[in-house]
Structure 1
Amino acid sequence: MNWTMYFGQVALLGVFRSMMAQAGPRGPVASATFTVVRLTNDQILENATGIGTPPASWPRSELVVDLLHKAVYGFTTAAVADALAARNGPGPGQRHAAVHADHRSDVGPLPHKDTYGR
């Protein structure tokens, strides 16, 4: 049951990270954000199913190994997703951000023809 849950969640979260990269969030900040999502998802599932215990109750050595493992997974998955998404050019979020790099509040959404939608 534990392995099924593990492989299922990493597959689904890999798809989630791919969607992030296709939409625009890429790079180290997006990778760190995804790593937090991976850690959060893991703890919710493990504690909800009774397979795991809260990290505060773990021995420090196990906690360090788990965090390192999740970080390696998060950043590796992100690197692959970012590289694959980069083949399609910038995502809608990146194109929108490029309209005005100074983050002005009066910039509306991209025209529909400039997004990935139909």
Structure 2
Amino acid sequence: MPLVISGSTAGGRGRPAVLAAAAARGLLGGLAGAAAMTASQRLERAVTGRPASHVPGRTLLLLAGRSPGEDDRPGGATLAMVVATSAALGAVRGVWRASGLLRVRADVAQTLLRIIVDQTLENATGAGAPPRTWRSGEGFVEVVHAAVAAVATGAVVERLVEPVLESRRGTTSH
């Protein structure tokens, strides 16, 4: 059932409670996004023969204070990082939806945010390399998978959260 709010509150709840509920529902969308991205990556690798990336898992291990080697293939940590990042972005997506950032604009914003978050964490920990150093085509593939996650997340969030806090202030002057 969508989060529906009359006016700016629901049952006397204020904006913070509405946003918290939207974020919680957005988490569900993020989990759907993680599943969709994982499936798209598996399909793409089956077609292209590209090996699985374990950079997200090594990133998570580094964030947790461990020291994985370049040859480590932490499958569980990789999946955990994908799910955690997707859930967090789903929460953000729920807040965006409640606030009025909708559909394609939200898909594009989430795709970009996914790439930014992944690259920031991977490069800050030393687990990954900047996209400008990747082999030809790798960046495109990463963007496609991030977009798949964004669209799947959005499909769920758009059903669970209504844009009830969308404001009309500032539409005529800035």
Assess same fold via TM > 0.5: yes
1:110 aligns with none
In the aligned structure 1, how far is the partner of 2:106 from the partner of 2:140? 22
2:164 aligns with 91
In the aligned structure 1, how far is the partner of 2:136 from the partner of 2:118? 18
2:172 aligns with 104
Number of residue pairs matched?
98
The superposition leaves residues 37-68 of structure 1 with CA deviations (integer Å, 9 ceiling, x where unpaired) of: 11111110111112211001111232221111
1:52 aligns with 128
In the aligned structure 2, how far is the partner of 1:50 from the partner of 1:57? 14
1:8 aligns with 84
More helix by share: 1
CA drift of 1:75 comes to 1.8
Q: Give 1:19-30 correspondences, 5 Å limit.
A: 19-30=95-106
Q: Quick one: which amino acid aligns to residue 94 of structure 2? A: S
Q: Quick one: which amino acid aligns to residue 18 of structure 1? A: G
5+ residue gaps in structure 1? Answer: 107-118
In the aligned structure 1, how far is the partner of 2:83 from the partner of 2:126? 17
Q: Give 1:62-77 correspondences, 5 Å limit.
A: 62-77=138-153
- Provide the secondary structure at the position in 2 that maps to 1:51: coil
- Provide the secondary structure at the position in 2 that maps to 1:19: helix
In the aligned structure 2, how far is the partner of 1:38 from the partner of 1:8? 12
1:34 aligns with 110
In the aligned structure 2, how far is the partner of 1:71 from the partner of 1:104? 32
CA drift of 1:6 comes to 2.6
Q: Quick one: which amino acid aligns to residue 100 of structure 2? A: G
Alpha-carbon RMSD across the aligned residues, in angstroms, is 2.1
Over the matched positions of the two proteins, sequence identity in percent amounts to 33
CA drift of 1:79 comes to 2.1
Q: Quick one: which amino acid aligns to residue 172 of structure 2? A: R
Q: Quick one: which amino acid aligns to residue 105 of structure 1? A: S
